């Protein structure tokens, strides 16, 4: 049977309220207003349930969301603690990869790092200040000292690259790198349990610093690519 031309349109039901999102925003606002810092304990589940008028499952869903972002952790028998500052204006981007192979995870994250790190090197070369150069060189000197004495320099290498990111004067570069490393830390900490991983890239860190010093953006991109090319080669060689 065909509907008449004068048939009234149906009234559409209202969309369901996303309680999880509301609670997420409310909890972020509370953390901001209460000036909670890393290491501070959050209110207990029952207190949050009563204050926000939601059930335990919603509270736990929101806590799991923040845990996945790496900004909270729950300690058995103790409560939930803040790992990083959170505000209602904070943009969080959870990162995940569905793969069982370490090699694939490393290569996929490396593809993303290429774009971010090459751009960061070029931006740092354009914007670096004299103060930035002092900090970068200090981190590089420490990296070289540790590398020459131990043959490896994991934390020192990261500190060097973070100093370059800071020299871009765009906080998103550092946040993106830290979030990527945080999400995949167990894979990037000691890939394949090889302390000599990417050791051949060591000389290019000094040439990258030199390029940033003279504000040669193309050289900064090129030297960054050399570092990441060595990383890719070692991932493929060590995972055969």
145 in the same domain as 186:
yes
60 in the same domain as 142:
no
224 in the same domain as 111:
yes
- CB of 135 closer than 8 Å to CB of 166: yes
Number of Cα atoms under 13 Å in the Cβ half of residue 113: 21
Q: Is residue 87 part of a domain?
A: no
**Does residue 2 carry a pLDDT above 60?**
no
Give the chain's domain count.
2
C-alpha Rg value of the chain to the nearest Å: 24
Cβ neighbors of 54 (< 8 A, separation 6 or more) are 19, 23
Q: Read off the pLDDT of each residue in 28-49 and give the average, rounded to a whole number.
A: 91
| Separation between Cα atoms, residue 234 and residue 27, nearest integer Å | 43
**pLDDT averaged over every residue in the chain:** 85
Closest CA to 37 of 63, 71, 70: 71
- CB of 82 closer than 8 Å to CB of 36: yes
| Separation between Cα atoms, residue 144 and residue 156, nearest integer Å | 9
Q: Read off the pLDDT of each residue in 154-183 and give the average, rounded to a whole number.
A: 84
CATH number of the domain that residue 34 is part of: 1.10.10.10
**Does residue 16 carry a pLDDT above 70?**
no
Q: Read off the pLDDT of each residue in 131-139 and give the average, rounded to a whole number.
A: 97
Q: Is residue 96 part of a domain?
A: no
139 in the same domain as 31:
no
Structural domain including 51 reads 19-82
Quick one: pLDDT band at residue 228, thresholds 50, 70, 90? very high
CATH number of the domain that residue 173 is part of: 1.20.120.530
pLDDT attached to residue 123? 98
Q: Is residue 160 part of a domain?
A: yes
78 in the same domain as 139:
no
- CB of 126 closer than 8 Å to CB of 183: no
pLDDT, tens digit, 9 for 90 and up, residues 4-13: 556 777 777 6
pLDDT, tens digit, 9 for 90 and up, residues 39-83: 999 999 999 999 998 899 889 988 988 887 778 899 988 999 998
pLDDT attached to residue 50? 92
183 in the same domain as 66:
no
Strands 72-75 and 79-82: antiparallel
pLDDT attached to residue 59? 92
227 in the same domain as 174:
yes
Encoding tokens for residue 230?
């060595």
Q: Is residue 9 part of a domain?
A: no
106 in the same domain as 78:
no
**Does residue 94 carry a pLDDT above 90?**
no
Q: Is residue 2 part of a domain?
A: no
Between residues 238 and 232, which one has the greater pLDDT?
232
Q: Read off the pLDDT of each residue in 180-189 and give the average, rounded to a whole number.
A: 64
Handedness of CA 74, 77, 78, 79 (dihedral sign): positive
């Amino acid at each position: 049977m065909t509907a008449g031309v004068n048939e009234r349109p149906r009234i559409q039901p209202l969309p369901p309220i996303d309680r999880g999102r509301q609670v997420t925003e409310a909890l972020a606002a509370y953390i901001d207003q209460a000036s909670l810092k890393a290491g501070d304990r959050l209110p207990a589940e029952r207190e949050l349930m009563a204050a926000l008028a939601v059930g335990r499952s919603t509270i736990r869903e929101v806590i799991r969301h923040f845990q996945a972002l790496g900004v909270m952790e729950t300690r058995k028998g103790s409560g939930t603690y803040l790992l990083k500052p959170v505000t209602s204006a904070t943009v969080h981007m959870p990162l995940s990869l569905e793969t069982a192979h370490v090699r694939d995870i490393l290569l996929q994250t490396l593809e993303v790092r290429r774009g971010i790190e090459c751009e960061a090197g070029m931006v740092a070369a354009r914007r670096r200040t004299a103060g930035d150069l002092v900090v970068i060189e200090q981190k590089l000197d420490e990296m070289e000292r540790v590398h020459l004495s131990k043959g490896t320099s994991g934390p020192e290498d990261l500190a060097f690259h973070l100093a370059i990111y800071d020299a871009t004067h765009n906080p998103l570069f550092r946040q993106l790198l830290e979030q990527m490393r945080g999400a995949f830390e167990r894979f990037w900490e000691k890939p394949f349990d090889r302390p000599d991983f990417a050791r051949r890239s060591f000389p290019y860190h000094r040439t990258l610093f030199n390029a940033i010093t003279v504000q040669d953006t193309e050289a900064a991109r090129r030297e960054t690519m050399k570092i990441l090319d060595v990383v890719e080669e070692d991932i493929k060689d060590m995972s055969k």
